[in-house]
Amino acid sequence: MSTRVRPVQALIVVDIQADAVRGDRAVPDAARLVERTAELIARARAAGALVVHVQNDGRPGTGDEPGTPGWELHHPVEPSATETVIRKTRDDGFHGTPLEGLLTGAGVRALAVCGVMSEMCVLATARTALELGYRVVLPHDAHATHDIPAAPGISGPVPAATVSRVAEWALGSDPEVVAHAADVAFAAPAPGAG
């Protein structure tokens, strides 16, 4: 049974880059994540919602260092008035980027966040969106991370699925956490609503 929520006017796709979803460094169940984020992107485009691909510029020597194969976005971008790429150097997709101005200018008041890593960039971006007064929808099956390795004397390994759920929990009761990407509905921003 669907628990579809009120429509959002934007989709923020956080760091779905080759290094995170292909090869040895991919998140667990990367194929599912890619499928869910592709589905969200397609439905957002069809509804005329704003689609923002956030691309991390990693430090030299990291898997997402700019210009390396791992840095490339996995999903094709259809540059238009309603789809764009924003590059960042911090976890938070708003920090030092034009994201807030882009959302405000488009009249967006509600958005969905998906991508990697749940406890870092997804969490930071969703938290700032909430602090800025946006309504935030977080589809559980459309964000992911890695297992946390054991820390001797502290804990055993923590499975990625648990880490993702804790990231959602850390945001408190403000975001609308939904089980499935299919539960997210999209609409075009209202002209002049910003």
> How far apart are alpha carbons 89 and 2 in whole angstroms?
36
Helices (H), the chain: 18-21, 30-47, 99-106, 123-131, 160-170
Instruction: Supply φ then ψ for residue 55, to 5 degrees.
Output: -115, 120
> How far apart are alpha carbons 118 and 144 in whole angstroms?
5
> How far apart are alpha carbons 128 and 60 in whole angstroms?
27
121 is a catalytic site residue: yes
Residues in a beta bridge with 143: 115
Identify the active-site residue in 13, 108, 121, 126. 121
Phi-psi region of 67 (alpha: psi -120 to 50; beta: other; left: phi over 0): left
Cβ(15)–Cβ(193) under 8 Å?
A: no
The DSSP 8-state label assigned to residue 37 in this structure reads H
Cβ(116)–Cβ(27) under 8 Å?
A: yes
Residues 6+ apart with CB under 8 A from 32: 141
**Active site residue ranges:** 121
